[in-house]
Amino acid sequence: MKHPTPQPDFTCAAARDAWHAACDGELAADAQAALDAHVAACPACRAYIDDLAAIAGALAELRTATQRVGAAPARPTRRHATPWLNRLTRMAAAIALVLGAGVLAYLATVERPTAPTHTPTTVAQPPAPAGPDAPPPVAIALAGDSDERFIPVARATQQSNVHVFVLFERP
């Protein structure tokens, strides 16, 4: 076994064995006394035991530092002591939701803009050409929100005297 009995020739090796047994809590009281006596006389063993005790202390510190790893933090219990209050809160939330939806629907009907009408109109009449038999100038533009892309088309038709119908649907 690892329990050295105190002997007059308590060697350094025996002392170190004894310390390891003591570290595991397996050292008899009389062996502890022999160990203490040896350590008091032997500086080398004292240094050894001091070092190993420091290491054991650090290991204990590592153990404490990691003790809570893997433990789930407790969820704070938010449940009310009075269940009816809980139900009341839920009902209030439902009422607020319905009211909010109603207000939104009302606003949508009131502020709905009129549908945009895209009627080709003549705008920005160019200066009338000289001469009575010249073809009438045509310019196509868009009423309402006009798009710049169509203006060159309108100019092209005006110059080449070709009727172009631009049919489109705004998205």
Partner 1 sequence: MNDAPSTPAEYVAPDPEVAAALTGDPPPTGWDAVHARRGILVRLAYRFCWNLHDAEDAVQNALTQAARHESQLTDPQRLWSWVRAIVIRQCHDLRRRARRVARAQNVLEDRARRAEPPPAPHVALARSEFSESVRTAIDRLPQRQRTALVLRHLEELGYAEIAQLMGVSESTARVQVRNARDNLRRILEKTNRSEPRAQGSVLNTNAKTDARPQ
What residue ranges bind partner 1 (CB under 8 A)? 2, 20, 23-24, 43-44, 46-48, 50-52, 54-74, 77, 81
Min dist. Cβ of residue 142 to partner 1 (A): 59
Q: Looking at beta carbons only, is 1 or 124 nearer to partner 1?
A: 1
Q: How far is the CB of 34 from partner 1 (least distance, A)?
A: 19
Distance between CA atoms of residues 129 and 37, nearest Å: 128
Q: How far is the CB of 48 from partner 1 (least distance, A)?
A: 8
- Output 65 or 128, the one with its CB closest to partner 1: 65
Cα torsion through 96, 101, 107, 112, rounded to 10: 170
Q: Is 49 exposed, middle or buried (0-12, 13-18, 19+ CB in 10 A)?
A: buried
DSSP per-residue letters across 41-62: H-HHHHHHHHHHHHHHHHHHHH
**Closer to partner 1 by Cβ: residue 52 or 151:** 52
How far, in Å, CA of 23 to CA of 54, rounded? 12
CB of 84 to partner 1, least distance (A): 17
12 or 60: whose CB is closer to partner 1? Answer: 60
